[in-house]
Structure 1
């Protein structure tokens, strides 16, 4: 007979998993960076332009943390001057559906609360 997980225990496991995700994707910039890189490889300057409002220092910090968590890779190209590109990893690309879901919810929320379509 299959053992059922108690609802309270299941809730605790769910909350623990959510906390793990939030620890990795904390702050207001990481999900935006991941969303950009899910579409294409980007140079640092492109990310700085695309992620509106982020400072250069914060972008550097967030990129290092995302790389440490194996969500993106930093590729140094053999060019003059040296070019660095950031790319989503196969593991990081598993977050694409999450970023799409968040974006869809955000657009619907904006329509509901503000009454504007993006």
Structure 2
């Protein structure tokens, strides 16, 4: 994780393996902070989790989906990018009434 954040601080994109590991660690932290199965968070190609308390989804496309790319996820989770800004500029797609994860972010400090 530290290596990925260091790369961000230097203004460069972390290497693929470093980025993958950081994305997975941050998804794990989100699932710890927001346990549940009502929202699916997808960060392709590195991972997806279900989180946030509420009705559990079991078949087909979930009604509450958050999806973004790995770099945007790292920026959001580290507090370097605001949720509303990411949604506004199209880097983050959130559909469903439970998908605003701002109360859980950032997952790590700057």
Larger Cα-atom Rg: 1
The structure that is helix-richer by fraction is 1
TM-score above 0.5: no
Q: TM-score range by the shorter chain?
A: under 0.3
The structure that is strand-richer by fraction is 2
